[in-house]
A and B are shown apart, each in its own frame.
Chain A
Amino acid sequence: MEPVLKGISRRRLLLSSAAIAGSVAVLGSSGNASAAASRVLRLASGESDGPTGTMDPAFNKIDADAARISLVYERLIILDKNFEPQPQLAQSWSSNEKGDVWTIELKPGISFHNGKPLTAADVVYTYRRLIDPKTASPVATTFGELTPEGIEAVDDKTVRFTLKSPVVEFPSLIANRFTYIVPEGSTAEELRTRGQGTGPFKVQEFVPGREPSVFVRNEAYWREGLPKVDRVELRAIADTSARLSALLTGQIDLSWDVPRVGLQALQAAPNLTVVTVPSPYVMSLTLMVDVPPFNDVRVRQAMKLVVDRQRMIDLVLGGLGKPASDQPVASWVQYGLDEPAPARDVAKAKQLLAEAGHPDGIDVELYTSEATAGFLEMAALYQAMAAEAGIRVAINKVPGDGYFANVWRKVPFLCTSKGARNADEALSQFYLSNAAWNDTHWKSEEFDGLIAEARQTLDTAKRAELYRKAQRLLRDDGGVIVPMFANSVGAHRKDLTGFEIHPQKNAQDFSQISIGG
């Protein structure tokens, strides 16, 4: 092997920088990396963007898509930070006694970017398109209760949804990342790169796979005095250190995806503000309950009992998280279970293992990867915590790329993460017996019944109790260890105002941001 000379460049640099500084002066360049105009908002998403990027709400998938779509389009109903439904394009909504017919009134005086007024026909078109098998939108499965003929325009400003069976949470159900309203007759090809919305910004330039995506102010936006910037430029900066450097040096004004660990540099930076909000973003370890030894509920309980939740939060999330109790609904979310998280109890865990026929402990293999920030640390920490109870964890680190395609739902014990969801989605999408993404293989008729009943119970207090019962059941019997929820963390330049980070990464609101006072 020959030695490599890298140091020299640093030495050489002192000479070159002087030379370059000279040449820059000669060329009369600004020599300043910050934005020329004060009214440009430069955003950076964390997940990488690329040729799959889209602005078609039906295929809203990555963070950059979600940002683009939320700049240009709007929804009838949105969720606030506690996952309660709030009106956006809707003026009001109401349902019949049973909860299987919903009527939504639109706000008056709203137009699309091309000047066409928003009417009920656009809403009908949007929803029919989402459930059309030909569209193949991932949201279609969520909308099993909808039929094309059940979506109709009563008049210009009124839409009626007639469902196959009651869904009392219909407003929350339609407040997801796919239901942005598009004009009647929009084709997939139009929507992908040059769709017309009602939102605060119009698309100026978006070529999938090319950066940045550029948006300009919608002069005719229906909310008085908004937006307060003229232009938005969006990039995806996947490399964490690059994203932080860009924030620190002022090449980016705002990112809503900042690593929770190692925030000191950002917090100490005089030109930046770090923003954070508790989010029901699930960090978890998933067990398949039909694979020994996890098929014994006592083993599952022992594996939950060894976790020191606060320590997990401190070490894996840098303190920016909230303890969870082995089920995916956070206590502050609507219908959340407000009971203290289980305390660590090694003695009880050992006893349970012995009762299950494992007096000498168990050997398990835990898969982890860098697919989600914190997985490696979470696995190592779990290994250490479990060891004291005789649960010997062998860690198997696999590539982060394709982790959710190739490892998730294929191995019996692994680190998983799930985006922030409302209570019903968090419980139903992964833990119903017939859920497409049932990664624990846990099947409980009682749980299924509770969710079905909750969905049809109009009385809010009763409904909350049913959801809470379902959560207790999952916590005590299910195959998922949820030690914690991870906060959403973002950072922006000091003189930027009007941004509140949303716990759902894909539901950020950029409409009220202003820069420089």
Chain B
Amino acid sequence: MTRHIAIQAALSLLSLLLVSILVFWLVDLLPGDAAERVLGQDATTEGLAVLREQFGLNHSALARYLAWISGLLRGDLGTSMIAGQPVANYVAGRVQNSAILAAFALVLYVPVSLALALLTAVYRGTAVDVGLTVFVLLGMCIPEFVIAIFLVSLFAVTLNLFPALALLDTAQGFGDLVRMLFLPVLTLTAAMSAYSVRLMRESLIQILDSDYIQLARLKGLPNWRIMGWHALPNALGPALNVLALNIAWLIGSIVLVETVFNFDGLGRLLVNSIRYKDTPVIQAIVMLLCAVYVLANLLADVSIMALNPKLRTRR
């Protein structure tokens, strides 16, 4: 098992390296350069020359990549071209903000999707199942930003229950913070509950049809006990796998949600950095997000092994 984890970890590192090359190359392929992006419609030849010199754009892409990666190995993320300050300080505050948002979303998402999966599995084939499934299919067709705008127009503009924008700096106390995060978190949860409910429903149905559950029923155990004691723990494995997959959803959705709610996090910073082709910042954020994703998968792998007695035993 340790060996397996070591191999997985090495593969993860290799894929991160490949991602860094790929992202650098793709950003470089985008038309225009940072100097043109910054000056926009007001670009003059002289102005462009000055900025290109300042941004170090006169070196080849390969030289710039090697400089970046060697810096990274020394623990130096480089300097944002546009902001002119070290990327590390520049990104740190946003990492924290996005982490708060993601944490809230995860906390909400796990019980919500489990409960729903359980409902559709237990009431399989009934009106409850059909109704919820239709709901799911409908929800699937609606992109996050539409959901976000819908939630804002309903709960912020019409009912005035929650603020429309998550302006964290205006929060006075924890209560305010919760109220501000409520709508963005709700949107994220909606996006994440994506296909996890369906996947968990399938695995729950398998479990519910299995011999040991039948036996428990024959023994006359109460329903809540069968569910809580026998079915759910066994469904957790697949749920963890889905969770790891969902981290990808979460990362994708955060970008959209932060834009709609004017939330000062990584996603918005990434969008802005891409707008300006601020390569060091793009690299730092993408690497971080990929690392989170890779790590989540690694952890899911390990915990599934830990949860599964068959994989744990050494024969």
Contact = CB atoms under 8 A, between A and B. Distances in A.
A235 interface: yes
A20 B179 contact: yes
Contacts of A408: 41
Given A3-B136, A3-B140, A211-B169, A242 B189 contact: no
B37 A241 contact: no
Contact of B190 (A9, A28, A51): A9
B157 interface: yes
Interface residues of A, number: 61
Query: Quick one: which of A9, A235, A249, A402 has the most chain B CB within 10 A?
Result: A9
Nearest to A269: B157
B176 interface: yes
Contacts of B68: none
Contacts of B112: 8-9, 12
B71 to A, nearest CB: 19
Interface string A363-378: 0000000000000000
Interface in A224-267: 235, 237-239, 241-242, 245-246, 248-249, 251
Given A138-B47, A211-B169, A402-B37, A8 B193 contact: yes
A461 interface: no
Contact of B39 (A1, A5, A11, A138): A138
A51 B47 contact: no
Interface in A4-19: 4-13, 16-17
Interface string A263-288: 00000000000000000000000000
Interface string B246-286: 00000000000001111010000100101110100000000
B126 interface: no
B173 A33 contact: no
A141 B42 CA distance: 11
A242 B90 contact: no
B46 interface: yes
A4 B90 contact: no
A208 interface: yes
B233 to A, nearest CB: 22
B187 to A, nearest CB: 8
B78 to A, nearest CB: 14
A60 to B, nearest CB: 10
A50 interface: yes
A401 B182 CA distance: 31
Secondary structure dominating the interface of A: loop
Interface in B144-169: 147, 149, 151-153, 155-157, 160-165, 167, 169
A241 B46 contact: no
Interface string A443-487: 000000000000000000000000000000000000000000000
Contacts of A5: 113, 116, 132, 135-136, 139-140, 190, 193-194, 196-198
Contact of B42 (A9, A33, A61, A251): A61
A130 to B, nearest CB: 13
Nearest to A48: B272
B138 A406 contact: no
B83 interface: yes
Interface of A: 1-13, 16-17, 20-21, 23-24, 26-31, 33, 36, 48, 50-52, 61, 133, 136, 138, 140-141, 208-212, 235, 237-239, 241-242, 245-246, 248-249, 251, 401-402, 404-406, 408, 436-437
25 contacts: A3-B197, A4-B139, A4-B140, A5-B113, A9-B186, A12-B112, A16-B186, A24-B175, A24-B179, A28-B173, A28-B175, A29-B172, A48-B272, A51-B80, A51-B272, A52-B276, A209-B90, A235-B167, A239-B262, A241-B260, A251-B164, A251-B167, A402-B37, A404-B41, A405-B36
Given A9-B189, A51-B90, A241-B149, 15 more contacts: A3-B197, A5-B139, A6-B147, A8-B193, A12-B112, A30-B172, A36-B172, A136-B50, A138-B39, A211-B264, A242-B259, A245-B153, A249-B156, A401-B274, A436-B45
Interface of B: 30-32, 36-47, 50, 80, 82-85, 90, 93, 108, 112-113, 116, 132-133, 135-140, 142, 147, 149, 151-153, 155-157, 160-165, 167, 169-170, 172-176, 178-179, 182, 186-187, 189-191, 193-199, 259-262, 264, 269, 272, 274-276, 278
